[in-house]
């Protein structure tokens, strides 16, 4: 699905940005540990531990860069294009959820039934099959029709004579070896088959909307949770670095804070893009485009993914 590949591309780019931030913070921690070691206020183990953490951050950054470039190729392939280094995709405007514009699941199920063209097509097939049943049934019934004729005769030997007649004609079908009965039965079976297909698709639509709705609700709630997690982890890291630089903290506290911040950044990035992908999946289940994207662009609002 192109829209998922599109959002996954920018999730990979946001992960790259988060990895850059982590590399920057771990470098500062390593510089602090090295400075303390150089003046003899920290053990060699502090310096080595900070250096190892910084080296791991550089490895993670390089991996994130590679993943972002690979995501460009994945999106290009989905779009039927050949990936190349100069390929650029416009970044989506990322706005948070607006609960006032989100409907409850029952309303969305009704909307899906009204909007899905594949369900409408099956419903039309059922209606057509029902019409075939009525047509087959009518062929075994007597028919009543009006008949009439008019004649005019003129010649040189006699005077002109005109005549007309009007009547009612009743046609009664003869026995055809149960041919009409078989036709009616076949038409009724066709109705049952088409109705079963329609009902099966309708049930699948209901399940898809239900699942997409509650998956989206979970990712929406996690947006706020991961944002709070990221902000608190950032403050904890800054405090731990400050304590260590002042000589009152220890390297274990600082490294733990660095790890928590890196994980919090990654979770926030993934939560935000999982929510966007969830919106796209719900829109697909509804059989319509996600107009929130257009409104978001007009609103001109944008959230930052990394700090």
Q: How far apart are CA 194 and CA 225, in angstroms?
A: 47
pLDDT of residue 173: 62
pLDDT at residue number 199 = 84
DSSP assignments along 134-173, one per residue: HHHHHTTS-EEEEEEEEEEE--SSS--EEEEEEEEEEE-P
CATH number for 80? 1.20.1600.10
- For 158, the token pair is 């006699």
Task: Report the alpha-carbon distance of residue 245 to residue 30 in Å, rounded.
Answer: 11
Under 8 Å CB-to-CB from 113, ≥6 apart: which residues? 119, 202, 205
Q: How many CB atoms lie within 10 A of CB 55?
A: 13
Q: Which of 266, 250, 192, 276 is nearest to 29 (CA)?
A: 250
Q: Is 306 exposed, middle or buried (0-12, 13-18, 19+ CB in 10 A)?
A: middle
Q: What is the pLDDT along the chain (307 residues), one digit of tens a residue?
A: 677 788 888 889 889 999 999 999 999 999 999 999 999 988 999 999 999 999 999 999 999 999 999 998 988 888 888 887 777 777 766 555 555 445 566 777 777 777 777 778 888 888 887 787 777 666 665 666 676 676 666 665 666 666 767 766 666 565 555 566 777 777 778 888 888 888 888 888 888 788 878 887 888 888 889 999 999 999 999 999 999 988 888 999 999 999 999 999 989 888 888 888 777 777 777 776 554 432 332 333 333 344 4
Give residue for tokens 């829209």.
3
Q: What pLDDT score does 210 carry?
A: 83
Let me know if residue 182 belongs to a domain: no
CA–CA distance, 138 with 123 (Å, rounded to integer): 23
Residue 172 is predicted with a pLDDT of: 59
CA distances to 108, 162, 188, 214, 304 from 104, in Å: 7, 77, 38, 10, 28
Q: What is the pLDDT of residue 158?
A: 61
Distances (CA, A) of 288 to 66, 101, 192, 282: 34, 16, 29, 9
Q: What pLDDT score does 103 carry?
A: 58
Nearest to 146 by CA among 171, 122, 124: 171
Residues 280, 292 contacting (CB under 8 angstroms)? no
Report d(CA 91, CA 150) in Å as an integer.
Answer: 80
Distance CA 71, CA 63 (A): 12
Q: Which of 48, 59, 49 is nearest to 19 (CA)?
A: 59
Which residues form the domain of 16? 2-117+195-299
**Residue 61 maps to a domain:** yes
- pLDDT at site 271: 87
Global pTM value: 0.58
Q: Does residue 217 fall inside a structural domain? A: yes
Give the number of domains in the chain: 1
Per DSSP, 291 falls in state T
Query: What is the C-alpha separation between 189 and 201, in angstroms, rounded?
Result: 19
Give a yes or no: residue 272 inside a domain. Answer: yes
Asked if 249 and 243 touch (Cβ cutoff 8 Å), the reply is yes
Angle made by CA atoms 64, 67, 69, in degrees to the nearest 5: 110
Q: Where are the alpha helices (DSSP H) in 39-116?
A: 44-78, 105-115
In a domain, 226, yes or no: yes
- Whether 175 maps to a domain, the answer reads no
Residue 139 lies in a domain: no
On whether residue 65 sits in a domain, the answer given is: yes
């Amino acid at each position: 699905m192109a829209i998922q590949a599109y959002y996954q591309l920018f999730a990979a780019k946001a992960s790259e940005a988060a990895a850059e931030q982590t590399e920057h913070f771990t470098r500062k921690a390593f510089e602090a540990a090295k400075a303390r070691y150089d003046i003899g206020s920290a053990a060699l183990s502090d310096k080595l531990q900070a250096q190892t953490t910084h080296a791991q951050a550089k490895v993670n950054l390089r991996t994130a860069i590679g993943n972002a470039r690979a995501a460009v190729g994945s999106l290009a392939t989905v779009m039927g294009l050949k990936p190349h280094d100069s390929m650029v995709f416009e970044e989506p405007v990322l706005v948070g959820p607006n609960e006032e514009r989100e409907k409850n699941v029952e309303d969305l199920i009704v909307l899906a039934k009204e909007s899905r063209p594949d369900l409408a097509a099956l419903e039309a097939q059922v209606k057509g099959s029902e019409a075939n049943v009525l047509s087959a049934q009518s062929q075994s019934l007597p028919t009543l029709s009006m008949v009439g004729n008019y004649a005019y005769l003129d010649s040189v030997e006699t005077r002109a004579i005109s005549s007309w007649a009007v009547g009612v004609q009743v046609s009664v079908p003869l026995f055809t070896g149960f041919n009409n009965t078989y036709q009616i039965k076949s038409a009724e079976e066709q109705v049952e088959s088409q109705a079963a297909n329609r009902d099966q698709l309708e049930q699948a639509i209901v399940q898809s909307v239900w699942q997409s709705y509650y998956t989206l609700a979970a990712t929406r709630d996690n947006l706020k949770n991961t944002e709070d997690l990221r902000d608190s982890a950032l403050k904890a890291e800054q405090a731990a670095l400050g304590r260590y630089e002042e000589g009152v903290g220890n390297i274990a506290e600082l490294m733990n804070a660095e790890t928590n911040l890196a994980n919090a950044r990654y979770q926030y990035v993934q939560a935000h893009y999982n929510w966007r992908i969830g919106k796209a999946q719900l829109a697909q289940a509804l059989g319509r485009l996600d107009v929130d994207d257009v409104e978001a662009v007009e609103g001109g609002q944008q959230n930052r993914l990394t700090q």
